[in-house]
Amino acid sequence: MAPAATCSRCGENDESFLHCVRDCKHSAAIWHKLGFVTAAFFSVSSVQDWIRNFSSGSRAITFLAGLWWSWRHRNLMCLSNETWPLTRISFRINDSINAIRSAFVKSNVIQPDSARMVKWNQGNHQCHILNVDGSCLGTPIRAGFGGIFRNNVGGYLSGYSGFISESTDILLAELTALHQGLIMAAEMGIEELACYSDSLLTINLITRTTSKYHTYAVLIQDIKDLLSAHNFSVYHCFREGNQCADYLAKLGASSNEECLVHASACQELLVLIQMDAIGTLFPRL
């Protein structure tokens, strides 16, 4: 039981059900992110009426997923002392929406193999996007890294590429790409960032507990510190949706530059950027 009725998150009102999942500033921010901003949404005082009114219609599934994650995030804050950025919550809500929709698909209806079609960003985030990648190529093998910053509609902001001397380790290249990108994002003053890497190992090392004896423990901790100090989140993506970063990583591996910032995109990269921006679907191989 809570020691007091006052909301432990905002300290402004008693924690009724509606305050908990809707009116607390932390929950309200989630609803605003989902597009529920009208006075009518926040003025209903009856719990039953509020749920009944918004759990039907074209946005019913979004409402129900938002309701669940408002409650989940409250518990994470109060019971686990975790505060997630809105981008991460939004990503989880989109996952829930897709799961709910798929639950109502009739099993005897053959659906297009859309799960095997991949595109950049997948429409999950409305903030700045960073794609990163590492590369090892050539004989002898050369390691490189790269990354590209875009706005949520695919507009090019900046890019970078670099060569890692005296290493042929792809994991180091992947981690370096992410680390360099997060440093640049902080220097650019980006407030909210969703970062994609097609290295599942890299994402797992960053999002899970890692042994202090890991070869790259210091670099991994530096990345975690950057993430915790800013509203930055990391996600795994398929390589078919990460082609721009792959291009820059290979460019870095084939150069001798420790780290080169690309204020504008070259023609070859521009073609890939344009394909991403128009939502081109690539088959997942």
CATH number of the domain to which 144 belongs: 3.30.420.10
pTM of the model: 0.63
* Residue 132 and residue 95 in one domain: no
Q: Contact at 8 Å (CB) between 241 and 217?
A: no
* Residue 166 and residue 52 in one domain: no
pLDDT tens-digit series, residues 184-208: 999 999 999 999 999 999 999 999 9
* Residue 154 and residue 201 in one domain: yes
* Residue 165 and residue 248 in one domain: yes
* Residue 132 and residue 188 in one domain: yes
**pLDDT at residue 219, rounded to an integer:** 97
* Residue 46 and residue 135 in one domain: no
Question: Could you tell me which of 83, 79, 129 has the C-alpha nearest to residue 241?
Answer: 129
Using CB atoms within 10 A of its CB, is residue 12 exposed (0-12), middle (13-18) or buried (19+)?
A: exposed
Structurally, the chain folds into a number of domains equal to: 2
Q: Contact at 8 Å (CB) between 31 and 24?
A: no
* Domain-embedded: residue 148: yes
Is 50 exceeded by the pLDDT of residue 163? yes
- Residue 193 CA to residue 151 CA, distance in Å, equals 10
Q: Contact at 8 Å (CB) between 130 and 147?
A: yes
**pLDDT at residue 264, rounded to an integer:** 96
Q: Contact at 8 Å (CB) between 127 and 194?
A: yes
**pLDDT at residue 66, rounded to an integer:** 92
Q: Contact at 8 Å (CB) between 184 and 149?
A: yes
* Residue 186 and residue 91 in one domain: no
* Residue 161 and residue 265 in one domain: yes
* Residue 132 and residue 99 in one domain: no
* Domain-embedded: residue 51: yes
